[in-house]
Amino acid sequence: MGTDLSDLESYQMAESLAQVVWEIVERWKSFERQTIGSQLVRAADSVGANIAESHGRFYYGEKLQFLYYARGSLYETRHWLRLAWRRSLRKRARDTVRRSQSPISQSPISIPTKSFLRRKLYG
């Protein structure tokens, strides 16, 4: 068949991103967690969920559509991270990311292009 979902680098990175975001948000005060934090966690979790959904689809068009959803969720995650940064939640976020062993914390987040997604899916 194909590659196991857990072997996909993009899925592993999405899981790492979701974990780092969770570690950041759980340290925030109640108000920040219930407003920005909730949206941020949901968006970050959705990246991996949409990659998983894509992996389970049979038709190329469906696979690609869910990868676009994953990319959209990644952009949304970036939006919430930028708002958190602007609203001075950055110190707690920066300290948490420094302690993390995640590969996400050691490399910038890049947004995959259509050609990249095709190469990853079909070689």
CA triple 107-115-110, angle to 5 deg: 15
* pLDDT for 89: 80
DSSP 45: H
pLDDT value for 98: 54
- Closest by CA position to 91, among listed 3, 51, 32, 38: 32
State the 10-residue block means of pLDDT for the chain, 123 residues long: 82 94 91 94 97 94 95 95 85 55 47 56 52
The domain of 19 spans: 5-122
Instruction: Give the H/E segment covering residue 86.
Output: helix 60-86
**Confidence (pLDDT) at 113:** 56
- pLDDT value of residue 105: 45
Q: Report the domain count for the chain.
A: 1
CATH of the domain at 94: 1.20.1440.60
Q: Residue 31: what pLDDT?
A: 94
Q: What angle do helix axes 60-86 and 114-122 make, rounded to 10 degrees?
A: 130
Q: pLDDT at position 107, please?
A: 45
